[in-house]
């Protein structure tokens, strides 16, 4: 017998199917699509988004949510009470729906168009380092994002910034981020200075002698992501300009890009995306097509990629495993190919301009800078005309360097041109969570280092499955972290990790 709750499940299964299509079409766009197909693809993606939005905002759906919420003890099949997962699903459905109904359809459509135009122009603007040329389009995107934030703030009873943040990190609040980031901002400058000084006092690591043929890189990469646990029966590895983890339920697709001069860049990138993929592939099968079955949010998502790449992938034990295999694959011999040298290359600290190239010590500085600027932009405290100067000033404050041009400054990321405000902080929240989770896993798995040195990710991934992946969205990020690590998200373990790896050892 159909009940309000079962109606919700069937509507959200339909949304899952639309998202399946959107996920594969997006992957295709980045990896396969011929250039001339962009306009048609844009239309198709927009229409799937509109249909999705129509389903979410259908008043009948709202009535079913209200009816199920009013009587959860009889909302199940044949009047049975909802179980814990069904209740959690109902909570998530309410959340997803509140986000969707907060924004009128014509604003969504206007945002899609403005973001598409601005993202397209951004590629040229970045190539020419021309922020002023991009500014009119970016103003429009920002204006619409502020409209969206205001509408969601009203509907969700949050501040405008938190209303946007909540899309990427459900339950995330800027007051908490402020505290964490202030702590990090105080920790970082001296730590960066000390780490660089310490590395400068040691002999330089030996550069790995390339070139490294792409087919060998790919073969080694596939072997490694398989060892880590990527399920190639439910996923693929391909090439794209900007590496990502996407695809669909049961079909998780990661990408990389190969640099013939440096095989570690693609390899570490593959480990990173594999961390994301393990999360997607580890969600509970029966709930994959429902909101409660989704990954919890971007903080935990990024924690999984950083745990596999930064915590495990760049650890001494794993690099002891990797070194002889990489040497054999590329036919390398000599001092460049020792585990110790690979480790020193993989943990090199440097003040740079580009976020995506940053090491794990300087990375939070890039994020804190963006977080503070985007909050000011959204609040109307920073005019776009003043963004380049503000960017450079903060860069000097946090990292002590000045970008030589806007391409390596405020034009480097696609996030703002695409209307994504509230996303950046999750990178660093994820780094904090990764450190905390890895420390807890090491505590739980007595011989974790030996396992990694033997290329055995089994116990680590099983631990992540149980403590993170399998919980999907059945509870909050905080609860997942507390249950797994005994503490809420904080900076302490991350700082210990940075000290241990870069200052003490």
Nearest approach in angstroms of CB 326 to its own copies is 26
Out of 140, 148, 169, 273, which one is annotated catalytic? 273
Nearest approach in angstroms of CB 191 to its own copies is 43
Please select the residue that binds its own copies; options are 92, 162, 166, 249, rule is CB under 8 A. 249
Our finding on whether 194 is near its own copies (CB under 8 A) is no
- Residues 101 to 160: which contact its own copies by CB under 8 A? none
Please select the residue that binds its own copies; options are 7, 17, 76, 444, rule is CB under 8 A. 17
Return the axis-axis angle of helices 387-399 and 174-201, rounded to nearest 10°: 50
Q: How many CB atoms lie within 10 A of CB 153?
A: 18
Please select the residue that binds its own copies; options are 6, 7, 30, 48, rule is CB under 8 A. 48
Please name the residues in contact with 2: beta carbons below 8 A apart, sequence gap of 6 or more. none
Percentages (nearest 5) of helix, strand, coil residues in the chain: 70, 5, 25
Our finding on whether 60 is near its own copies (CB under 8 A) is no
Our finding on whether 411 is near its own copies (CB under 8 A) is no
Only one of the segments 28-36, 138-146, 166-174, 457-465 lies at the binding site for its own copies (rule: CB under 8 A); that segment is: 28-36
| DSSP state, residue 405 | S
Only one of the segments 247-255, 304-312, 363-371, 454-462 lies at the binding site for its own copies (rule: CB under 8 A); that segment is: 247-255
β partners of residue 247: 252
Please select the residue that binds its own copies; options are 143, 232, 396, 466, rule is CB under 8 A. 232
Please select the residue that binds its own copies; options are 41, 95, 128, 351, rule is CB under 8 A. 41
Query: Rg (Cα) of the chain, in Å, rounded?
Result: 23
Q: Rounded to the nearest 5°, which phi and psi values hold at 248?
A: -150, 175
Please select the residue that binds its own copies; options are 202, 203, 215, 233, rule is CB under 8 A. 233
Sign of CA dihedral 277, 283, 289, 291: negative
Q: DSSP string of 121-147?
A: HHHHHHHHT-HHHHHHHHHHHHHHHHH
Which string of x and - marks every residue 258-297 that binds its own copies (by CB under 8 A)? ------------------------------xx--------
Active site residue 69: no
Taking the least distance from each CB to its own copies, the nearer of 193 and 285 is 285
Please select the residue that binds its own copies; options are 33, 156, 239, 462, rule is CB under 8 A. 33
What are the C-alpha distances in Å from 462 to residues 251, 282, 292, 294?
A: 20, 9, 21, 19
Our finding on whether 213 is near its own copies (CB under 8 A) is no
Q: Using CA atoms, how far apart are residues 411 and 288, in angstroms rounded to an integer? A: 37
Which residues are known catalytic residues?
Answer: 273
């Amino acid at each position: 017998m159909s009940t309000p709750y079962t109606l919700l499940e069937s509507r959200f299964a339909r949304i899952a199917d639309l998202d399946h299509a959107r996920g594969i079409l997006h992957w295709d766009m980045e990896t396969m699509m011929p250039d001339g197909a962009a306009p048609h693809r844009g239309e198709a993606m927009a229409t799937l988004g509109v249909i999705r939005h129509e389903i979410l905002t259908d008043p009948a759906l709202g009535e079913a949510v209200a009816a199920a919420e009013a009587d959860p003890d009889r909302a199940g099949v044949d009047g049975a009470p909802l179980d814990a997962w069904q209740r959690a699903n109902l909570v998530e459905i309410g959340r997803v729906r509140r986000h969707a109904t907060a924004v009128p359809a014509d604003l969504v459509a206007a945002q899609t168009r403005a973001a598409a135009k601005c993202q397209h122009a951004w590629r040229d603007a970045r190539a020419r380092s021309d922020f002023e040329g991009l500014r009119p389009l970016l103003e429009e995107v920002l204006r619409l994002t502020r409209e969206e934030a205001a509408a969601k703030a009203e509907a969700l009873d949050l501040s405008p910034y938190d209303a946007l943040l909540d899309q990427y990190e459900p339950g995330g609040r800027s007051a908490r981020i402020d505290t964490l980031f202030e702590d990090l901002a105080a920790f970082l400058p001296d730590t960066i200075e000390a780490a660089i000084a310490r590395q400068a006092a040691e002999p330089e690591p030996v550069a790995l002698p390339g070139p490294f043929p792409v087919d060998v890189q790919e073969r080694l990469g596939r072997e490694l992501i398989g060892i880590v646990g990527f399920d190639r029966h439910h996923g693929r590895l391909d090439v794209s300009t900007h590496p990502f983890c996407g695809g669909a339920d049961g079909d998780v697709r990661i990408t990389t890009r190969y640099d013939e001069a440096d095989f570690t860049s693609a390899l570490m990138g593959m480990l990173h995306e594999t961390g994301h993929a393990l999360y997607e592939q580890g969600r509970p099968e029966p709930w994959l097509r429902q909101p409660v079955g989704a990954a919890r949010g971007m903080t935990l998502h990024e924690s999984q990629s950083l745990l596999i790449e930064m915590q495990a992938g760049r650890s001494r034990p794993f690099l002891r495993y990797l070194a002889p295999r990489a040497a054999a694959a590329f036919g390398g011999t000599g001092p460049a190919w020792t585990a110790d040298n690979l480790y020193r290359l993989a943990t090199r600290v440097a003040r740079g301009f580009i976020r995506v190239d940053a090491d794990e010590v300087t990375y939070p500085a890039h994020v804190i800078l963006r977080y503070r600027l985007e909050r000011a932009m959204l609040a109307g405290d920073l005019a776009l005309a003043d963004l380049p100067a503000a960017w450079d000033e903060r860069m000097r404050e946090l990292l002590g360097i000045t970008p030589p041009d806007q391409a390596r400054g405020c034009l480097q990321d696609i996030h703002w041109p695409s209307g994504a405000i509230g996303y950046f902080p999750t990178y660093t929240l994820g780094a904090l969570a990764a450190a905390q989770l890895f420390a807890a896993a090491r505590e739980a798995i007595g011989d974790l280092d030996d396992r990694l040195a033997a290329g055995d990710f089994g116990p680590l991934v099983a631990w992540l499955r149980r403590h993170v992946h399998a919980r999907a969205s059945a509870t909050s990020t905080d609860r997942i972290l507390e249950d797994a690590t005994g503490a809420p998200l904080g900076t302490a373990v991350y700082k210990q990790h940075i000290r241990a790896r870069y200052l003490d050892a």
